[in-house]
Structure 1
Amino acid sequence: MITRLTLLLAATLSLSSAFAEPKKLLVVTVTTGFRHSSIETAEKVIAELGQKSGAFTVDYVHHPEGQPKNPGKPPVKGPKDTDESFKGKQEAYSAALAKFNEDNKAWGDKIKAYMADKMALDKIKHYDGFVFANTTGDLQFPDREGFIKLIEGGKAFIAMHSGSDTYHPFRGYIDMLGGEFETHKAQVEIQPILHSPGHIITKSVPQGWKVFDEIYIIKSFDKAKVHGLLGLDSHPNLSQMNDEEKAKVTAEKRYYPVSWCKEYGAGRVYYNSLGHREDVWDPTWKADTKERRNSPEIAQTYQEMILAGIKWALKLDEAVSTPGNIP
């Protein structure tokens, strides 16, 4: 009888799970700093993962249109420039910079009003989780502390790549995430250490897995406070350095995290610093062209990590995620 009841209960739970409403994710792709060309690809991939898995639906807070273009660095006098022609370039640049500064102030006001509407707590509190897909800068949330309390209260938070290059002055965000972007060098192929091969997020990552991407150097990171998933024991660009640079970074004996997850109050946080390149996100992006540096299989593995990370953060899947597992 006990066995029958147990089997009946298990079947009932399985059936109810199969017909459970999908979770609701809000994907934010607003940037007030550098804007990655891979954001549109990321938006597409996250929507596809939700649709194919049936685990979640996706709404977006897209980047509003009309951001002014920075005129860039001031002109440098070339060998063919006369004093008069170079003066003309300088004056044109000064005028363009003044126009940009004026337009950018208006743009900042527009972003603030836009985010006050889109990210008001009463409008977003019904979501089960939030994804920062390559966000950058100060996102101008109307109540950033309130947003962090949503995560602490039980919501999911997932960030990819420059999600760590976001809200630097706001330590509440950095503490919640577990680390922040410091710098990066040239794109490079890495073979990250698989710290937790049995974890639901990384179980699809094969031993010896390699990926070509822009690899972040992360600061404000404490091994003891996260469950490490992927990382490096040496600088990702060591092979590209001269002997003096190699000696300097080797002497630091620094650890370079790539991906981790953590509990945050009653909520869960997953971060993956990969995702600068479109071909990391999408197996089909510019297939069979020289622009691809990652095989479709590498992108497929990345997608599997992202999907598993989202489901873990949403508490749809469980895995031992004890902090302090990085040697």
Structure 2
Amino acid sequence: MIKRLTLLLAAALSCSSAHAEPKKLLVVTVTTGFRHSSIETAEKVLAELGTKSGAFTVDFVHQPEGQPKNPGKPPVRGDKDTDESFKAKAEAFSIASAKFNEDNQVWGDKIKAYMAEKMALDKIKDYDGFVFANTTGDLLFPDRDGFIKLIENGKAFIAMHSGSDTYHPFRGYIEMLGGEFETHKSQVEIQPTLHSPAHPITKSVPVGWKVFDEIYIIKTFDKAKVHGLLGLNSHPNLAQLTDEEKKKEDELKRYFPVSWCKEYGAGRVFYTSLGHREDVWDPTWKEGTPDRKNSPEIAHTYQEMILAGIQWALKLTEGPATPGNIP
């Protein structure tokens, strides 16, 4: 009888575990700066990872419609330009810039009202974690300090790619994340160093793994304050640098982080700068076309890393966050 009760209890516990309530994630894809074409792909993949794993559900704070298009940089006079043609280009740019500034102010007010509704603390406090998927700029949260406090008090925070190109003037966000975007050069293939190969986030990343993407140069980063996952000991675009730039980099001996995790108070933070390209996110994107630079296997590895990073940040798995593991 005792043995039978033990078996029944074990089965009940197993059943209870199998039907544990999934965690709740809020995915933010709002941008007030550059907007990546891969955002829709990222949204699709994150929703699929939640459904397939059963570990979490996903709600979204999407981009409101109506963001005006920036006219870009002023025209540069070309060899074939006449005084009249260049004057016309300059005048057209001036008109477009004035219209953009006017429209952007209206849109900024719309974003502020939208975020006040969607990101009010009383509406987001019950989420277990937050994902900034390729966000940019000032997101105009109604209480940005209160949001950071949620992470500090135990929530999960996950950010991909330009999640580090977000809230630059708000140092509380940068401190929580662990670094911020400075610049990038052309897209390039890298073979990052695995700093923590046994970590649940990176254990699926094979030795010698390569990925083609837009690789960020990160500033205000202190490797003594994070647990390194992926990184580079030389500039990702080293072959493209001038001799003078190479000499400078050799003197600086800089480290170039690609992915890390850390604890922030009682919360957990996971970041990867990868994710600019659709084919990093999605193994099926433009499959079999010249536009695709990453194999489906590379995208599968990225998805596995993202899923594991979310699960770790949500405290569904355990792995080290001990800072200072980057040589």
Q: TM-score, normalised by structure 2?
A: 0.96
The aligned counterpart of 1:153 is 153
The aligned counterpart of 2:204 is 204
- Superposed CA deviations along residues 205-260 of structure 1, whole A, max 9, x for unmatched, are 00000101111111111112111110111111112223222111011111111101
The aligned counterpart of 2:61 is 61
Q: Compared with structure 1, are the counterparts of its residues 14 and 247 closer, same or farther at alpha carbon in structure 2 (3 Å cutoff)? A: farther
Q: How many angstroms does 1:94 deviate by?
A: 1.4
Cα distance in structure 2, aligned partners of 1:3 and 1:233: 57
For structure 1, which runs of at least 5 residues remain unmatched after alignment? Answer: none
- Paired residue type of 1:310: I
Alignment of 1:42-61 (within 5 A): 42-61=42-61
The answer as to 2:57 corresponding to 1:34 is: no
Q: How many angstroms does 1:87 deviate by?
A: 2.2
- Superposed CA deviations along residues 126-146 of structure 1, whole A, max 9, x for unmatched, are 111000000000000000000
Q: How many angstroms does 1:39 deviate by?
A: 0.4
Alignment of 1:1-40 (within 5 A): 12-40=12-40
The aligned counterpart of 2:101 is 101
The answer as to 2:195 corresponding to 1:190 is: no
The aligned counterpart of 1:256 is 256
Aligned CA RMSD, in angstroms, stands at 1.8
Q: Compared with structure 1, are the counterparts of its residues 316 and 255 closer, same or farther at alpha carbon in structure 2 (3 Å cutoff)? A: same
Q: Compared with structure 1, are the counterparts of its residues 299 and 88 closer, same or farther at alpha carbon in structure 2 (3 Å cutoff)? A: same
- Paired residue type of 2:85: S
Contact 2:25–2:129 under 8 Å retained in 1: yes
The aligned counterpart of 1:313 is 313
Alignment of 1:149-298 (within 5 A): 149-298=149-298
The aligned counterpart of 1:113 is 113
Q: Percent identity?
A: 84
- Bigger mean CA offset, 289-298 vs 84-93: 84-93
- Paired residue type of 1:320: P
Q: Compared with structure 1, are the counterparts of its residues 212 and 7 closer, same or farther at alpha carbon in structure 2 (3 Å cutoff)? A: farther
Aligned residues: 327
Cα distance in structure 1, aligned partners of 2:199 and 2:147: 28
- Paired residue type of 1:239: A
3-state DSSP of counterpart to 1:36: coil
Contact 2:168–2:180 under 8 Å retained in 1: yes
Q: How many angstroms does 1:86 deviate by?
A: 2.6
- Bigger mean CA offset, 81-90 vs 285-294: 81-90
Q: TM-score, normalised by structure 1?
A: 0.96
Q: Compared with structure 1, are the counterparts of its residues 3 and 177 closer, same or farther at alpha carbon in structure 2 (3 Å cutoff)? A: farther
Cα distance in structure 2, aligned partners of 1:146 and 1:286: 41
Cα distance in structure 1, aligned partners of 2:70 and 2:295: 34
- Superposed CA deviations along residues 173-207 of structure 1, whole A, max 9, x for unmatched, are 00100111111111111111100111000000000
Q: Compared with structure 1, are the counterparts of its residues 240 and 82 closer, same or farther at alpha carbon in structure 2 (3 Å cutoff)? A: closer
